[in-house]
Structure 1
Amino acid sequence: MTRRKPSEEPTLAVRALRTQQAEGVDVYAFFVPGADLLRIADISRVHRDGEGTLHGFQRKEIQSHVRSIVEFLDQGPVLFPNAIILAISPRAIFTCSRGSKPEGDVRASESGTLRIPLPSNGSKEAWIVDGQQRSIALAQAQNKSFPVPVVAFVSEELSTHREQFILVNKARPLPPRLINELLPEVDGDLPRDLAPRRIPSELVNRLNKAADSPFRGLIRRPSEDNPAAVVTDTALIKVVRNSISSPLGALAPYKATPARIADGGAMYRVLVAFWSAVRDTFPDAWGRPPTESRLMHSAGIEAMGVLMDRVMSRASGNADLRRHSMAALARIAPHCNWTSGRWLDLERDWNDIQNVGRDIRLLSDQLARLDHVYAFAQVA
């Protein structure tokens, strides 16, 4: 292997072990002074640009967590063997050590020197996949030479970084909303417990961005700080997931089977038809903060999701789904109290409805009863 000339560019040189996983992906294990981590590696924060494209994957810095780690590191000699996981650029150069292998070597790795380029124009050649809070704390700690274990894999693909970030953190207290938003951006295979969450999150992403969606710009996602967003993504994802998984759900006919893939386009059309009708039936309640409208509250969103499954199950195959939804909603609209008044059958004021299981069931049952009574009255 050709050795890099020291004069070519500044590098951080470390003794490392190299192995390979997947299909020839280099993976390295080494130690660096903790203060050097942020010299060589970026923290890719999750955010969206002006066009709505998702960038990065890391959540915001948790200052209280960082402070607690710094306090631990500064208390004196400590044991801190938690490995940082990095993705590094192929521009990092590994040179194998010369010499014979030790007797009994299992040949799972080879030793050598890894040279990681140091940024000369602000662009770093490594990205922190796991351990950002620890890395920030190590940079702030008094002991700048504290040795930290690092495992690094070679990849510049953001989708791979996100995939590994999710896999590392899925069993930890990582916010489910952040996982949900990142899932549609991951191209690789996911564990069985995560894969079903991808389609609901993809649909919610589209509902938040598409021009024909009644929810455009109204859904709160971890990557955005939009004051106009009033609907929590978790509630809408739950509506979609429940509708897909229930045999009587409005979206269930379009889910994947052993013989066909899921029809996300058909699911989206059903969602747009029903929720556009909701918006047009309750214009005074639509788009307002949950404190002013329980229709935009998580309890209202989930209860209306139950109603969506009921209403859409009665639509004929060639029906105009939006018109069908409008007719069903118009019949119950006079009996709904989203922004004022009192739900008489529930004996609850409009703003007494909370995002708890009992209240969501009460409101769902009430909407179902109203739909049942007035749908049958229409038939009679």
Structure 2
Amino acid sequence: MTEDFESLVVRAVRTQQGEGIDVYAFFLFGSDLTRIADISRIHRDERELKGFQRKEIRSHVRSIVEFLDSGPVLFPNAITLALSPEIRFEPSRGPKPNGLAEVGVSGTLTIPFRTEGDRAAWIVDGQQRSLALAKAKNSRFPVPVIGFVSRDLQIHREQFILVNKVKALDVRLINELLPEVGSLLPKDLAVNRLPSELCNLLNRQPKSPFYKLIKRASDTGDESSVVSDTALIAAIKQNLRPPLGALSQYKHLPETANPDAMYETLTLYWSAVRDTFPHAWGKSPSESRLMHSAGIKAMGSLMDQVMLRADSSEDPDAEVREALQRLEPYCAWTEGAWENLGLAWNDIQGTPQHISKLADHLIQLDRKLSRPSR
């Protein structure tokens, strides 16, 4: 790749799609993306809709920058550009290897440098990544680019919609894959890796109260799996939050965390839950709100308070079981109604409002019942 004062020259491969539309594949330095391409922000003037790109999402851009700056990283995600017909392509000369698949023609692509608002390319997909690459410490990070030649804003919009209408990866699939990934990850994914691994252990270990009860993305339809892994992972993430999270004492830096101790603590608490509410354990969420995402998250919140007392007692297991036994008469997991909540057992839903109300009710009730009688 070379550049002068007026243009950027890169090695590229050209092919055609659609009705004779030239499409190019090439690499350039990340810092050059915003020098050759404009971001067409969506807005309206007095007559019509302009552009198509959403606003910059600063938190997303910041997360990508942190990942790019974290060390040697693999970042092969291609940016899609619409290219002005002003670009120039010169095919390479020379002999062709025997058996060459003539899918594209190699050569050099010249893209002129222009001032912002008048550039010879427009970012169709990857604006957040492009902004992050421009801010990353390594300005010469090589980035794959796919570019198609068109000035037609309608085509730009069509491609933008087609690229972004594809359903995002299922969060459950991402969570299950995370423990298998050994490389550096962006912070927003890395924080889920440990909870997901603990979720795996709880589902696989025969001594776990959740043994084969957790629904994971890799399940093939086992009807015995009734607990949402997303709900349990959310509960474990809360248990990991310092300073009062039940698992936070075992988590310092990622490399010094003690997942074995975390697993044992989770097993102790949730085994007591299972034994205290045997009639509600292992049933489908429609039959038991304890197995519902609302019940899992609310009981996960209660875990922090109960384990704080249990950890300072001579017999943590007994302390947890006694606390739950005190609560048992007031719980309506499979029938009846929740006193003070004004909700029948099956009215509890997995909304933030219901989860918060149920968790607060259980926590307040536990505080009241755990006070020594006078």
Match status 1:229 vs 2:171: no
Say which of 232, 241, 262 aligns to 1:245: 241
Residue correspondence of structure 1 range 99-110 to structure 2 within 5 A: none
8 A Cα contact 2:15 2:24, kept in partner: no
- Distance in 2, Cα, partners of 1:233 & 1:30: 44
8 A Cα contact 1:230 1:287, kept in partner: yes
**Structure 2: unaligned runs, 5 residues or longer:** 1-11, 26-94, 102-143, 147-163
* Percent identity (aligned): 48
Quickly say closer, same or farther: Cα 1:81–1:187, change in 2 above 3 A.
farther
- SS class of match (1:193): helix
Residue correspondence of structure 1 range 188-267 to structure 2 within 5 A: 188-224=183-219, 225-257=221-253, 261-267=256-262
8 A Cα contact 1:270 1:321, kept in partner: no
Letter of the 1:251 partner, please give it. L
Say which of 284, 290, 306 aligns to 1:289: 284
Quickly say closer, same or farther: Cα 1:366–1:191, change in 2 above 3 A.
same
Cα shift at 1:353: 0.4
Cα shift at 1:287: 0.3
Residue correspondence of structure 1 range 317-332 to structure 2 within 5 A: 317=312, 319-332=314-327
Cα shift at 1:78: 7.6
- SS class of match (1:194): helix
Quickly say closer, same or farther: Cα 1:334–1:173, change in 2 above 3 A.
same
Say which of 335, 350, 353 aligns to 1:355: 350
Quickly say closer, same or farther: Cα 1:337–1:150, change in 2 above 3 A.
same
8 A Cα contact 2:313 2:319, kept in partner: no
Letter of the 1:236 partner, please give it. L
- Distance in 1, Cα, partners of 2:24 & 2:331: 54
Letter of the 1:374 partner, please give it. L
Say which of 301, 304, 312 aligns to 2:299: 304
Cα shift at 1:319: 3.7
- SS class of match (2:371): helix
- Distance in 2, Cα, partners of 1:226 & 1:208: 13
8 A Cα contact 1:276 1:322, kept in partner: no
Say which of 269, 274, 282 aligns to 1:279: 274
- SS class of match (1:330): helix
| 1:107-166 deviation line (CA, Å, top 9, x unaligned) | xxxx996999xxxxxxxxxxxxxxxxxxxxxxxxxxxxxxxx999xxxxxxxxxxxxxxx
Match status 1:77 vs 2:73: no
- Distance in 1, Cα, partners of 2:24 & 2:360: 49
Letter of the 1:355 partner, please give it. G
Number of matched pairs? 234
Which residue of structure 2 aligns with residue 141 of structure 1? none
Quickly say closer, same or farther: Cα 1:33–1:207, change in 2 above 3 A.
farther
Which residue of structure 2 aligns with residue 313 of structure 1? 308
- Distance in 2, Cα, partners of 1:239 & 1:223: 21
Q: TM-score, normalised by structure 2?
A: 0.56
**Higher Rg:** 2
- Distance in 1, Cα, partners of 2:259 & 2:299: 21
Letter of the 1:203 partner, please give it. L
**Structure 1: unaligned runs, 5 residues or longer:** 1-28, 35-75, 84-110, 117-148, 152-168
8 A Cα contact 1:256 1:262, kept in partner: yes
Cα shift at 1:276: 0.1
